[in-house]
Amino acid sequence: MSFIISKIFWVFIQPSNLLLLTAVVAALSMGFWPRLGRRLLSIVVVCLVVITFIPVGQWLMAPVEQRFPERTAWPETVDGIIVLGGGVDVGASIGRDHLELNASAERLTVSAELAKAYPSATLIYSGYRGRLVEETDDEPDLLRFYTRRGIEAERIIVETESRNTFENVIFSKALAKPAVGDVWLIVTSASHMPRAIGIFRKVDWPVLPVPVDFRQAKDSSFRSHLTLIAQPHVSNRLQELDRAVKEWTGLTAYWLMGRTSSLLPGPD
């Protein structure tokens, strides 16, 4: 039930949808409450101008995405690798001879590289269904993606039942049955890593984070911010804001529900 509620709730609070809904309400109000309609339209216009010229989304995302730095020290041995779903365009992949990847493709490519670097490690790909209404009941051939890259099929577990990050961790732990002292790596997008690590800590499963899919420069400078302001792009800025608000909403909701160890988990 929480999954359905969260998806419906996000439809209405997603910044781009919220601006559109406000514009629709403003237009409908013009015939009955013209002053209210004009004020609402003014709010929409001001918000769009601010979002277009000021990288609000990037500023909101920076503390989340930069929370876990790139891994530079690697363990000598690894028992398992978990990659969280999100890098596959499920609808476009069905019926094709290869997977169609999206902007989070590094989750798959990096996990494949790690699986080759640690040839005795188990590889768990956890979940790909995260929409309220799925386009298809078919499953993309994730096993073939990895076997084509030289990873033995018997080392791979594809978990396809989880629908959100919490279920990713719970179902993966049930499949992995990690023992005390086992070394597991977790691969997911940098902006998603704090929420994932918070859940792993909550369920008492120590893992080593491998953040990928960074969207921002490592060291933001004043000049880089000027470049963003000088090159306004409303659709890009809205997407950035949507991503940032979604991640902060997820962090807050999981913290309030007691599913994560803290509001913004960080390195030990």
Residue ranges covered by each domain of the chain: 2-65+221-256, 80-212
Question: What's the token pair of residue 246?
Answer: 């979604």
Q: Which tops the pLDDT comparison, 22 or 226?
A: 22
Nearest to 94 by CA among 146, 160, 161, 139: 139
Task: For Cα atoms 257, 130, 126, give the angle at the middle one, nearest 5 degrees.
Answer: 90
- What's the rounded mean pLDDT across residues 184-188? 97
Q: What percent of the chain has pLDDT over 90?
A: 62
Report the SS3 class of residue 185: strand
CA atoms within a 13 Å half-sphere pointing along the CA-CB vector of 60: 19
Look up the CATH architecture of domain 80-212: 3-Layer(aba) Sandwich (3.40)
Strands 122-126 and 80-84: parallel
CB 155 within 8 Å of CB 123: yes
CB 14 within 8 A of CB 247: no
* Residues facing residue 57 across a β-bridge: none
pLDDT over 70, % of the chain: 89
Residue 133: the pLDDT is 45
Whole-angstrom Cα Rg for the chain: 21
Q: Return the number of other C-beta atoms located less than 10 Å from residue 188's C-beta.
A: 30
Beta-strand (E) ranges in the chain? Answer: 80-84, 122-126, 156-159, 184-189, 208-212
What is the identity of the amino acid at 47? Answer: C
Supply the pTM of this predicted model.
0.87
Dump pLDDT digits (tens) for 61-84.
Answer: 999 999 999 999 999 999 999 999
Q: Alpha-carbon distance 83 to 172, whole Å?
A: 10
